[in-house]
Amino acid sequence: MYAVIRTGGKQYRVAAGDTVEVEKLDGAVGDSISLADVLLVSAGDAVQVGTPTVAGVTVSAKITGQYRGTKIMVFKYRPKKRIRVRKGHRQYLTRLQIESINA
């Protein structure tokens, strides 16, 4: 059984026992959260597709980490204009351990 969830503007395919890194969610390490934005649920041959979400289905997850991702460098320049801009960015992330899909 798996589900497709939406969080942080992105979609993730998850199953019970999976570990997923998503954009920062509120909560402390060890807290349990419920994700209600479920777009699709598949159990064997039965597939439920939401319009836009599947009613009555939630995904239970446990927060196992709050941290910042690796640094990416953003470099912008305009040729022949002596304009050079170099910036770094580190995204705040939350690591989730998927516990169950409650259909």
Task: Tell me how far apart the terminal alpha carbons of the chain are, to the nearest angstrom.
Answer: 10
Question: Quick check: 103 pLDDT over 90?
Answer: no
The mean pLDDT of 16-32, rounded to a whole number, is 96
For residues 39-45, average pLDDT: 93
Mean pLDDT, to the nearest integer, of 14-22? 96
- The share of the chain scoring above pLDDT 70, in percent, equals 100
- The whole-chain average pLDDT of the chain stands at 95
* Per-residue model confidence as pLDDT tens digits over 45-85: 999 998 999 999 999 999 999 999 999 999 999 999 999 99
Where are the chain's structural domains?
Answer: 2-102
